[in-house]
Amino acid sequence: MAQPLAPSQTPLVSTGQTHLPQVTLPRNPGMPLDLNWVLAARANTSAIERRAASLPARRSVKKAHQAAWLLRAITCIDLTTLSGDDTARRVERLCAKARQPVAPALLKALGMGPITTGAVCVYHEMIAPAVAALAGTGIPVAAVSTGFPAGLSPFELRLKEIEMSVAAGASEIDIVISRRHVLSGNWQALYDEMRAMREACGDAHVKAILATGELGTLRNVARASLVCMMAGADFIKTSTGKESVNATLPVSLVMIRAIRDYHERTGVRIGYKPAGGISKAKDAITYLALMKEELGDRWLQPDLFRFGASSLLNDIERQLEHHVTGNYSAGYRHATS
């Protein structure tokens, strides 16, 4: 039978009545590459697909619980624009949305103080307007670097891009891995690449984008997840949003279990960021429920969980408005670009 589900016993990171994201997590120091561990990683595809398929139907989240989950989801969004036609003006509008993702009247009706999104995520060239627009808010700017999305520019340039993004004010860097290292089973090359990128990030937290839709098998996803964590990734992220297949529940299950495995063996908590194609409020709840079931309440905080999403916030805001007023507003009212 479907069970009601409360998002967490853990409160949102709170400053008085204000609920803000905070990246308080200690960095992942990484460890030497343990090839025995990597090669022992397997993925039982049919069991994973069965479990993933059962997830959306198994939990029923209604009314106040649903609103609480959706507010939690907002605090975990890396509000993203990654388009060739991005402009400073668009980024400023996005940042305004990140600062105030839900209308104050709705928040008041829900008994909530102000909230913000987890971060704003942009290309390198858009860091400066984002940093300016978010000054004083504590909302981090995340930049996609390393020749995003293909990651095929010269290695030295990719490292330089990271350094430039950090210098421009990004406090989180989303790097893309070289898929060919995974597809050819060259785990040492993947480890060395990730290690160098982490080093180039300095104090900025690093998210490793695996581009899982291009890795061939779930077993490769499990192994690449482990190698990136061993090399010091603070987060592992599914996709750039530009692959033909982006975040999925089976891939998420594999990556989340790799995070659990890594935590059990090293004591280090790694964050998870599903990204690409997550645009519906109900999907956000499914992902949060998956995190809660597989990793526990601690992973429902923005320092350990993010959605990479450009349009998810629009749908969540519509659902919250419906919860409060009983009516759906027109979709265009919640557009961010």
Ligand X SMILES: O=C[C@H](O)COP(=O)(O)O
- Footprint on this chain of ligand X (rule: CB under 6 A): 80, 82, 121, 240-241, 275-277, 308-311
CA distance 87 to 79: 15
Q: Residue 82 or 254: which CB sits closer to ligand X?
A: 82
In the complex, minimum distance from the CB of residue 38 to ligand X, in angstroms, rounded to a whole number: 26
Q: Residue 38 or 97: which CB sits closer to ligand X?
A: 97
CA distance 227 to 290: 23
> What's the gap between Cα 183 and its chain centre?
24
- The alpha-carbon radius of gyration of the chain (Å, integer) is 19
Q: Residue 311 or 319: which CB sits closer to ligand X?
A: 311
Q: Which residues is 206 bridged to in the sheet? A: 173
In the complex, minimum distance from the CB of residue 270 to ligand X, in angstroms, rounded to a whole number: 17
Contact status, residue 210 vs residue 177, Cβ threshold 8 Å: yes
Q: Which residues are catalytic?
A: 174, 237, 273
For residue 307 the two structure tokens come to: 């959605």
In the complex, minimum distance from the CB of residue 40 to ligand X, in angstroms, rounded to a whole number: 30
> What's the gap between Cα 121 and its chain centre?
10
In the complex, minimum distance from the CB of residue 273 to ligand X, in angstroms, rounded to a whole number: 8
Q: Residue 79 or 270: which CB sits closer to ligand X?
A: 79
In the complex, minimum distance from the CB of residue 240 to ligand X, in angstroms, rounded to a whole number: 6
The set of residues, in sequence order, having a beta carbon less than 8 Å from that of 319 and lying 6+ positions away, is 66, 70, 281
In the complex, minimum distance from the CB of residue 19 to ligand X, in angstroms, rounded to a whole number: 23
Order of strands, edge to edge, in the sheet holding 141-144?
271-273, 235-237, 205-209, 172-176, 141-144, 119-123, 77-80, 307-309
Q: Residue 61 or 143: which CB sits closer to ligand X?
A: 143
Q: Residue 38 or 309: which CB sits closer to ligand X?
A: 309
252-286 burial, b if ≥16 CB within 10 A, otherwise e?
A: bbbbbbbbbbbbeeeebbbbbbbbbbbbebebbbb
Q: Which residue in the shown chain puts its C-beta closest to ligand X?
A: 241
CA distance 293 to 27: 24
Torsional sign, CA 160, 161, 167, 171: negative
